[in-house]
């Protein structure tokens, strides 16, 4: 790996780490950088997942007071995230990447829409349930939500942060910080699980991965700090803009 490639990957990692810890969507920066460094698409995918989890972990720990209570549901969330990511990683190793990549813009577009309307939808669902004398068991630890997005996170991962944040935003009725830290925790577990499988299979190029990871750590620190001080409305706009950009980017990449 050349010095130019190292610097390019480290800088991409900083930008990606900030995006990932705040709103998700780091792949729009990091994935093309890995391709530009000469890695083939599948290898770039495995390296991107392995490099991104240290920065997301730092962002999770930095805002850990916003995490849900550590109870049976919390443990279930972690287990579901690991199982979903493991299945997704296994599918990536045995199936053509382009088969699933066609769906990426659709998933990202739907996730972006959910982020945009999360608060009113969440309030409407809870108000509707209260009128019927019921409560909604729909939280960030709901396994029905986590398994599909965790599987996608282990399989491809590009834009999974936006997808998870969209789901978590509905569950938290638009509470950005609670949704974001839950998203970071699930993303950490997803990426770490997938990275362990890819490493065991010898599918990771370590020099490029470590260069990118070094940048994501620095970006994760900066992004976690910004996520705590930015107004909720500003972050919602950032989520929607990032999600729309990712949707357009991957639509052009995989549909045309």
Rounded Cα distance, 60 and 201, in Å = 28
Residue the block writes with tokens 């890819």: 198
* pLDDT, position 129: 65
- The reported pTM is 0.71
* pLDDT, position 76: 80
- Three-state DSSP at 54 gives helix
* pLDDT, position 7: 94
Encode 139-156: b = buried (16+ Cβ within 10 Å), e = exposed. Answer: ebbbeebbbebbbbbbbb
* Domains: count for the chain: 1
* pLDDT, position 42: 79
3-class DSSP string for 67-98: CCCCCHHHHHHHHHHHHHHHHHHHHHHHCCHH
* pLDDT, position 140: 54
pLDDT tens string, the chain, 256 residues long: the values are: 888 999 999 999 998 888 777 766 677 788 888 988 988 877 888 898 889 888 888 878 877 887 777 777 778 878 888 888 899 888 878 877 677 678 778 877 877 776 677 667 666 766 776 677 665 555 555 666 677 778 877 876 666 777 777 777 766 766 777 777 887 888 888 888 888 998 998 889 999 999 999 998 888 888 878 877 877 677 778 778 887 888 898 888 888 8
* pLDDT, position 118: 64
Full residue range of the structural domain in which residue 208 is found? 3-255
């Amino acid at each position: 790996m050349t010095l130019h490639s190292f610097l390019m990957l480290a800088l991409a990692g900083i930008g990606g780490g900030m995006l990932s810890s705040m709103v998700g969507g780091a792949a729009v920066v990091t994935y093309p950088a890995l391709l530009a460094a000469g890695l083939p698409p599948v290898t770039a995918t495995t390296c991107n997942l392995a490099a991104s989890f240290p920065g997301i972990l730092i962002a999770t720990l930095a805002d850990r007071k916003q995490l849900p209570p550590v109870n049976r549901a919390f443990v279930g969330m972690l287990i579901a995230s690991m199982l979903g990511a493991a299945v997704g990683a296994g599918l990536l190793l045995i199936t053509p990447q382009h088969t699933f990549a066609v769906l990426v813009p659709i998933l990202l577009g739907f996730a972006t829409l959910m982020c945009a309307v999360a608060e009113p939808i969440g309030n409407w669902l809870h108000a509707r349930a209260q009128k019927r004398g019921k409560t909604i068991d729909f939280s960030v630890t709901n396994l029905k939500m986590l398994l599909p997005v965790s599987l996608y996170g282990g399989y491809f991962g590009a834009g999974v942060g936006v997808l998870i944040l969209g789901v978590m935003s509905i569950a938290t009725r638009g509470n950005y910080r609670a949704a974001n830290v839950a998203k970071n925790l699930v993303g950490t577990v997803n990426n770490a699980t997938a990275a362990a499988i890819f490493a065991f299979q010898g599918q990771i190029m370590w020099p490029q991965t470590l260069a990118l990871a070094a940048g994501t750590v620095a970006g994760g620190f900066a992004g976690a700090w910004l996520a705590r001080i930015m107004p909720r409305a500003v972050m919602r706009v950032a989520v929607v803009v990032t999600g729309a950009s990712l949707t357009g980017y991957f639509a052009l990449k995989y549909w045309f």
